[in-house]
Amino acid sequence: MLNLLFLIAAVSDIGYGEISATCKGRVIQAEATACAWDSYHRADAEMNEVWRSTRSDRSAGNDVEAALLKSQRAFLIYREQTCKVPYLVESPGTIAPMEQANCLTEITIHRVAELRKLFK
């Protein structure tokens, strides 16, 4: 139980300010949630684009390819599991899906930066 509380504290401290700014002014929860999911889908599409572009840049060999693929698979699991927490914390409230989308967006944005840094 104590581990769960630490995880909740860590996730709640991520800071969704840059994401919320995109959806600022949405007063109806359904609109705010839809905007948050749109932000996530854009971030996910960007990550997929960066991922594809790094594949063509990888000339270091199979070890790099295998390690990066394993890392990406682990990231996807981490992202999904981590972002269940804000959803569950807010459930059954109507804000829960928006909090999940904000978390997914934030973590995906960080992954895009990591991938770009690896292959600049």
**93: domain CATH number?**
1.20.1270.180
The number of folded domains in the chain is 1
33-54 pLDDT tens trace: 999 999 999 999 999 999 988 8
pLDDT at 95: 95
Residues of the chain short of pLDDT 70, as ranges, are 1-22, 56-61
CB atoms within 10 A of CB 29: 13
| Segment holding 48, helix H or strand E | helix 29-57
Q: Which residue range is the domain that position 60 belongs to?
A: 2-118
